[in-house]
Amino acid sequence: MKVNIYSLDGKPTEEIDLPKVFESQVRQELVQKAFRAISLSLRQPYGSYPFAGMRRVGQNVGPNHGIARVPRVSGGSRGVLLASFVGGKSAHSPRSDRILYKKINRKERIMARHSAIAMTANRSLVVGRGHIIPEDITLPVVVKDEIESISRTSQAKKLLVDLGLYPDVERAMKGKKIRAGRGKARNRKYRVPKSILIVGTDQEKLRPFRTITGVETASINSLGLRRLAPGGVGGRLTIFTESAIRELGKVIA
């Protein structure tokens, strides 16, 4: 499978053969399964102190005293230890020793990643995910390595405009909304739709693209499923550098 290589002015200059990973079978159900396992495994354990409400001495006075037979503090009537009393233990509280890691077979995880990479070359899946792309552009979008020499955000925006991909960034800008719930007070006030993913050999050289709304950057080594298929839905609009495509063929044979 051949695709065009675009220059910084958005014009095709030559063609390049895509690695065989782009011919992998599309398995959306595996992508969703792997994404769920990865996302749930990233949760941080939390819970109350195991001995909270239990560090008291309570005694039961027994029957025939006209009071409920519950543990109480010595010399008083205050109940302790049980969950139905003030200062008692918490009923059904979260446990910090709970195992949050979700297992997934190694072959399924590898197949899911290969499938997510192949989905970036499928026009129907990219459009079905909501991305806005020109009719004549080849997917995945491959750009000359000069893209890593861009040092200003204005130059990065001009490249996306010349490629005809900036309308997808505008879609992400219009979709930026205030998050519902307590997340507003926890440093995640806004929900922003995902736009373009730019993959190069060195993620630091793609820094000017990070400030554009909805745009993310990655290197070949950091090209994970959560970036290729946000929300477990494959077909993200992706830009590869020429060197990244060649290196991808070496890393994933």
- Alpha-carbon distances of 184 from 23, 57, 187, 189, rounded to whole Å: 42, 42, 6, 4
Q: Where are the domains of the chain?
A: 2-25+109-251
Position 131 scores a pLDDT of 97
d(CA 114, CA 24): 6
Contact in structure between 153 and 207 (CB atoms under 8 Å) = no
Residue with tokens 């050999």: 201
Q: Which two tokens stand for residue 157?
A: 């925006």
Residue 46 CB contacts under 8 Å (≥ 6 apart), including other chains: 94, 96
Contact in structure between 159 and 6 (CB atoms under 8 Å) = no
- For residue 15, report the phi and psi dihedrals to the nearest 5 degrees: -120, 160
CATH class of 2-25+109-251: alpha beta
Print burial letters for 141-171: b (CB count within 10 Å at least 16), e (below 16).
Answer: bbbbeebbebeeeeebbbbbeebbbbebbeb
The pTM score is: 0.86
Position 17 scores a pLDDT of 94
Position 75 scores a pLDDT of 84
Contact in structure between 109 and 228 (CB atoms under 8 Å) = no
Q: Which residues of the chain have pLDDT under 50?
A: none
Position 80 scores a pLDDT of 92
Position 84 scores a pLDDT of 85
Position 253 scores a pLDDT of 57
Contact in structure between 114 and 26 (CB atoms under 8 Å) = no
Position 50 scores a pLDDT of 86
